[in-house]
Amino acid sequence: MNITPIAYYRSVQPTKFGVPRQSGLVPELRGRIVFEPEFSNIDALRGIEGFDYIWLIWEFSLNGKREGEWSPLVRPPLLGGNEHVGVFATRSPFRPNPLGLSSVRLVGVEECVGGPVLHVAGADLVDGTPIYDIKPYVTYSDAHAGAASGFVDGREWKKLDVAFPAELRALFGEDDYAALYKVLELDPRPQYHNDPKRVYGMPFADFDVRFVVSADGVLHVVDVVRM
């Protein structure tokens, strides 16, 4: 089976660093789905405006692995990056077929000169991610109240306190700042990094946001530089 991207995701996050590790973790994060010319037909979206959520099937295009390279065991960040579990028991990008699945909120459908654009929220995709299919989220079959979630149950990301100086915060619009704050709160660092002196840089909305995380779990934004 040969598949080709029908669209690409566009957002304020051009690199993997800082992208939420799952969809829905930062509902304030907005993005657009821009269709390729062959699929840029408003008729293909007829009726989609009635759904609150949609499924995206997409490619882990930045996982750094060669085609066909994969491992049966991976180390999920939620387990601290130290414990191995089977790749098919995780959502790791390092898979035999590097496909991702995300449920995102459909904010609206815009008819533009070049074709329709979907506005979505809460995605866990990098800007430029290829999208292979879109399907509606259907509550009666897709929602399973009380379902067990394996090793995920009983665990959650430990949120950081964020110290963001007012003069740096003022560089962002209200919506971008709200999303950026939530991204930082979720601790974008790799799980094995714990150096309170290390300065991290995270691209976001045409800026490089630089921060450190102190030993007491507070993320301090130390500078914001326009890229």
Structure tokens at 195: 């150096």
C-alpha 131/C-alpha 33 separation (Å) is: 8
Question: What contacts 117, CB < 8 A, 6 or more positions away?
Answer: 32, 33, 34, 35, 109, 110
Output the pTM of the full model: 0.91
Helix, strand, coil share of the chain (percent; to 5):
15, 30, 50
C-alpha 29/C-alpha 183 separation (Å) is: 9
Residue ranges and CATH numbers for the domains of the chain are 7-142 (2.40.30.70), 161-226 (no CATH)
Residue 12 burial (C-beta neighbours within 10 Å; 0-12, 13-18, 19+): buried
Per-residue pLDDT of the chain (227 residues; tens, 9 = 90+): 889 999 999 999 999 999 999 999 999 999 999 999 999 999 999 999 999 999 999 999 886 666 667 889 998 877 877 789 999 999 888 889 999 999 999 999 999 888 999 999 999 999 999 999 999 999 999 999 999 999 888 777 778 999 999 999 999 999 999 999 999 999 998 877 778 899 999 999 999 999 999 999 899 999 999 98
